[in-house]
Amino acid sequence: MHGVTGQLFFCLLCALAAFVSKTWQGAEPARDLEEAERERRAGTISLSTGLVLLLTLQLFLGALLRHLHTTSTWHVTGAVFVLLLAVAVGVRAMSMHKDQPVLPRLGKALCGLVAFQFLLGWVALAATLMKAGALADWQAAITTLHQTTGALVLATAVLLRLWSGRLLGPGGGGAPALLGGAAGAS
């Protein structure tokens, strides 16, 4: 299951890079928000958490398909749900949280990556369905690009979730302040 653990480790590295960034260390979560604003922010955090979980399941289903040659039905069905939720989360980050510049940028990246990934998925499916024996070089390149783009989608979703918790959550969402940041000072 190196296809799963490798991508999860990549996400961990992306998270660590965010945690040690100056932007993360200097981020101040909003305080004294109205109830409607708190609910709106909590909704973004919840949806982005759900997206990370759904993408992790999709990653597992893709690994089963790639390595154990299981049916593509579950992975293809999951792709539709991932596309819908990722676009919803991305658009939400772009439109509702313009006051936090990192969130719209991640939302835009998420929408672009997931659209490209969805298209690549259909091309990869067609490439594997037309194979007769071993994959041709172009077919292997397409399926590998699909796997790589999936890692970027997952990492972007993880970053969007972490930044949402940091910037939108109450008190920073329990996010770590590393390297002697203000929240980490004793």
pLDDT tens-digit series, residues 10-66: 999 999 999 999 999 998 776 767 777 777 788 899 999 999 999 999 999 998 887
Residue 11 corresponds to which tokens in the numbers above? 């996400």
Provide the pLDDT for residue 182.
45
Cα 92 to Cα 59: distance, rounded to the nearest angstrom: 23
pLDDT score of 185 = 42
CATH dotted code for 37-172: 1.20.120
The pTM score is 0.86
Rounded average pLDDT over 145-159:
96
40 contacts: CB under 8 Å, gap ≥ 6: 96
Highest averaged pLDDT of the listed ranges 4-8, 88-92, 120-124, 137-141: 88-92
